[in-house]
């Protein structure tokens, strides 16, 4: 079924400069846990144990995070500080991590295509770690994996956003085939408000069937001169079926300062 989760994580995180000058934005912590770890835990919760991370220059801290740190572990051995490493140890014992670099920044579609050697010819999940998704026991990826088992096609997570924010997202239009599930017939990346087909925005969780790689190879640059996953998915929707899924849970846009602060406050109250 679905075993692998791809994390496009090569972007610069310019909105968080200077914090992200030498630190990957995916390593920014929500309280005491980096964003990428929340994403990995969500993937594990959905039964995906193979993590494929597309990194870039200056992003090595992510690889170190999911690796042992002998010196630190030796120092705190036997003290109650060891407890703080329990979660990450469990991740390292359960999952495998592989990495590849996106050498040029040519958009999300290009980043996903760069991950092809780590994925191969099987359906896979994609998590954009700066969209932090929190759901009680049933994570957003778990919900989507279940849906994939029924429909066997690409799926994007969607959420209603205010019309004056649609320009930040890929936006879909579709026919509702079941409560909260849309068969997509239109998809536009970052439309102006007046051109948006709806206010149903794509958020950073995808299940993709592997034919997406061939489509991406032939996708010409779109908005911002970048190869857009939204354009490739529109092609897939034309040829077959792509679903939009209104997930159950809460999403924070941790790529923006305001969303990051909201997520921090929410998690601090809820988990600490």
Interface residues toward ligand G1P, by CB under 6 A = 108, 128, 131, 169-170, 189, 201-204, 228, 230, 255
Cβ–Cβ < 8 Å for 55, 25 = no
Nearest-angstrom CA–CA distance, 91 and 51: 11
9 versus 153: smaller Cβ distance to ligand G1P? 9
CB of 228 to ligand G1P, least distance (A): 6
CB of 99 to ligand G1P, least distance (A): 20
51 versus 127: smaller Cβ distance to ligand G1P? 127
From the number of C-beta atoms within 10 Å of its C-beta (0-12, 13-18, 19+), residue 220 rates as: exposed
Which among 245, 256, 231, 66 has a CA at the least distance from the CA of 142? 245
Residue nearest to ligand G1P (CB): 170
CB of 10 to ligand G1P, least distance (A): 11
From the number of C-beta atoms within 10 Å of its C-beta (0-12, 13-18, 19+), residue 221 rates as: middle
139 versus 255: smaller Cβ distance to ligand G1P? 255
| Phi-psi sector, 249: left (phi>0), alpha (psi -120 to 50), beta | left
Nearest-angstrom CA–CA distance, 50 and 146: 18
CB of 171 to ligand G1P, least distance (A): 8
34 versus 109: smaller Cβ distance to ligand G1P? 109
62 versus 108: smaller Cβ distance to ligand G1P? 108
CB of 73 to ligand G1P, least distance (A): 35
């Amino acid at each position: 079924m679905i075993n692998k989760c791809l994390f496009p994580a090569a972007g610069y995180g310019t909105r968080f400069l200077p914090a992200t000058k030498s630190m990957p934005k995916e390593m920014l912590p929500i309280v005491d846990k980096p964003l990428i770890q929340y994403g990995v835990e969500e993937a594990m919760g959905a039964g995906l144990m193979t993590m494929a991370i597309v990194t870039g220059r200056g992003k090595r801290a992510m690889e170190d995070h999911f690796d042992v740190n002998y010196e630190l572990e030796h120092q705190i051995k036997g003290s109650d500080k060891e407890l703080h490493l329990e979660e990450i140890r469990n991740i390292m014992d359960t999952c495998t991590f592989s990495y590849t670099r996106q050498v040029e920044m040519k958009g999300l579609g290009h980043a996903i295509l760069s991950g092809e050697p780590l994925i191969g010819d099987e359906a896979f999940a994609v998590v954009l770690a700066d969209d932090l998704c929190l759901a009680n026991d049933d994570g957003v990826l778990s919900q989507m994996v279940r849906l994939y088992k029924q429909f066997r096609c690409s799926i994007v997570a969607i959420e209603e956003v205010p019309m004056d924010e649609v320009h930040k997202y890929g936006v879909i239009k579709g026919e509702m085939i079941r409560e909260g599930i849309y068969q997509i017939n239109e998809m536009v990346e970052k439309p102006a408000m007046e051109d948006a087909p709806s206010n149903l925005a794509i958020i950073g969780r995808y299940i993709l069937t592997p034919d997406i790689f061939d489509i991406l190879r032939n996708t010409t640059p779109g908005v911002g001169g970048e190869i857009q996953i939204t354009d490739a998915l529109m092609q897939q929707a034309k040829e077959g079926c792509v679903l939009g899924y209104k997930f159950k849970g809460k999403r924070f846009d941790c790529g923006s300062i305001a969303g990051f602060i909201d997520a921090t406050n929410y998690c601090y109250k809820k988990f600490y």
